[in-house]
Amino acid sequence: AQKITQTQPGMFVQEKEAVTLDCTYDTSDPSYGLFWYKQPSSGEMIFLIYQGSYDQQNATEGRYSLNFQKARKSANLVISASQLGDSAMYFCAMREQLYTGANSKLTFGKGITLSVRP
Amino acid sequence: DAGITQSPRYKITETGRQVTLMCHQTWSHSYMFWYRQDLGHGLRLIYYSAAADITDKGEVPDGYVVSRSKTENFPLTLESATRSQTSVYFCASSQAGRRTEAFFGQGTRLTVV
């Protein structure tokens, strides 16, 4: 069963507007973390933001924020004031068993391509 | 150099040959991961390791072998390369515990002809 689902195949946004990239996840573990990474055309993987399952508030990092809805098992990335440099592939990832010390693998979704139009 | 480095960056090999992709990190992170990235599939986990001498299979382990005798190194070996293993391979490392984001190497583009 797919743990991380990113169903938007490609997204377009006008420069300076906000955009939401969707991510849903599946886990029965109460202790998990959710991550978003950016992969520009140059290929490197850049960490953007983290949300822990026990965190009381939604995570924010500069122009990035995470709309975390635990009951719906969704962790959507919101990018405010889009810039041309935001054009990239975006991956949602999950790590389970964060607090138990057990083997904790990091699982990725298939990614979403974001194109920012000038 | 500090960080996580993969070698080689590019590799062309023939079907049936053994090839090893190297990964080295300088942070003493306990966790290390190998992923392959293919169009339409995102990043798929091949193997991961929680510590030296502890490895575990990921989503797509068939045809691959890993070892981790030292914390800093996590080589990935394709025992007998096949064309379906043509891909971009990423190595990553992370600490254990909360807020455990992974740091990625630059990737190795492997072509099997």
C-alpha B43/C-alpha A32 separation (Å) is 19
Structure tokens at A97: 């068993």
Please answer yes or no on whether B43 and A95 come within 8 Å at the CB atom: no
Dump pLDDT digits (tens) for B38-69. 988 899 999 999 999 999 999 999 999 999 99
3-state class of A24 per DSSP? strand
Res A1: pLDDT: 62
Res B97: pLDDT: 72
C-alpha B82/C-alpha B14 separation (Å) is 8
Share of chain B above pLDDT 90, in %: 87
To the nearest 10°, report the CA torsion of A79, A82, A88, A90.
10
Res B99: pLDDT: 73
Give the best residue of A6, A42, A45 to mutate against chain B (max B CB count within 10 A): A45
Instruction: Share the mean pLDDT of chain A.
Output: 92
Is residue A96 predicted with pLDDT exceeding 90?
no
B27 touches chain A (CB under 8 A): no
Query: What are the residues facing A113 on neighbouring strands?
Result: A10, A89
Is residue A83 predicted with pLDDT exceeding 90?
yes
Instruction: Share the mean pLDDT of chain B.
Output: 94
For chain A, the first-to-last Cα distance in angstroms comes to: 39
Is residue B96 predicted with pLDDT exceeding 90?
no
Distances (CA, A) of A8 to A12, A114, B40, B41, B100: 11, 10, 12, 13, 26
- More confident position, A15 or A102: A15
Q: Between residues 54 and 113 of chain B, which touch chain A (CB distance below 8 Å)? A: 54, 56, 58-59, 88, 90, 92, 94, 96-104, 106-107
Among the listed ranges A1-5, B12-16, B81-85, which one has the minimum average pLDDT value?
A1-5
CA distance B36 to chain A (A): 11
